[in-house]
Amino acid sequence: MPKKLPEFKGDEIPEFATEEEAAEFFASYSFAEAMEKGLFEPEEVELDPELAAKIRERARTKQVTLRLRVSQIEAVKEIARRKDIPYQTLIRSWIAEAIRREQGSGA
């Protein structure tokens, strides 16, 4: 018989015997609701400087729209599938590589 999870009364987070029990609980209840009720306090964390730099860099991105032929998109998706990465990531890496190459050639 499955173990019954602690009941969530909405005003306190129950104690958990295992991480699995906690994971199951939070998968069953709204974390956003608990945040709204003030059940969690914001906590400052120190990020690894390299990770912080990556986050800042990602925040400085801008969305663009490109019109590509359907056959090009299908080809990129197939290559990305073989590499096991999202096709948008593959396109970004190709653009970054081309920029480095062009900047390095002095053109």
CA distance 12 to 34: 8
Output the pLDDT for position 41.
78
Place of tokens 């590589």: 97
Q: Is 83 helix (H, G, I), strand (E, B) or coil?
A: helix
Phi, psi of 95 (to 5 degrees): -65, -45
Output the pLDDT for position 65.
94
Q: Are 86 and 76 in contact (CB under 8 A)?
A: no
Confidence of residue 93 (pLDDT cuts 50, 70, 90): very high
Tens digits of residue pLDDT in 3-61: 555 556 666 777 888 888 888 877 877 767 777 777 777 788 898 999 989 888 877 88
Q: Domain limits of the chain?
A: 1-43, 49-104
Tens digits of residue pLDDT in 66-76: 999 999 999 99
